[in-house]
Amino acid sequence: MKLLLIEDDIFFRRFYVEKLKEKGFVVEEADDGEQGLEKLKTFKPDLAVLDIIMPKKDGFEVLRSMQQDPTLKRIPVLVFSTLGQETDVEKAKSLGASDYVNKSLFDFNQLLAKINTLTKSNPKS
């Protein structure tokens, strides 16, 4: 299972990449929204885990760009952000996010459960 982690915080990114690799995932990473969009096109992950607050392009811009590309639009996205207001969650979902996890309430097992659910319920076409 291929995951793309789009996260600008190097500590979070390294931690999650290592933990997800331990669970058997093939993980690529991007440290901003622009790099994330490029890697979505080249790596073609089964799921993208996307932060919202990032340099160059924020997560909302990444979601908008994905919706405009027929190939990228099919990739499920799990938003993983410190933005936890209901308006942020609804905005992300309205832009195509499959689910939303508040990074502030971090629990790796819950994140893993969401990833497993989304990758099983969204097989690649």
Can you give the CATH number for the domain in which 66 is found? 3.40.50.2300
Q: pLDDT class for 84, splitting at 50, 70, 90?
A: low
Q: Does the pLDDT value for residue 105 go beyond 80?
A: no
Does residue 103 lie within any of the structural domains? Answer: yes
38-52, 53-67, 68-82, 94-108: least confidently modelled range: 94-108
- The pairing of beta strand 77-81 with beta strand 2-6: unpaired
Q: What is the pLDDT of residues 15-43, one digit of tens each?
A: 999 999 999 999 999 999 999 999 999 99
**Largest CA-CA distance found in the chain, in angstroms, rounded:** 34
Which structural domain range is residue 59 located in?
2-119
What's the number of domains the chain is made of?
1
Does residue 125 lie within any of the structural domains? Answer: no
Q: pLDDT class for 125, splitting at 50, 70, 90?
A: very low
Does residue 58 lie within any of the structural domains? Answer: yes
Does residue 124 lie within any of the structural domains? Answer: no
44 — alpha (psi -120 to 50), left (phi > 0) or beta? left
10-14, 38-42, 63-67: least confidently modelled range: 10-14
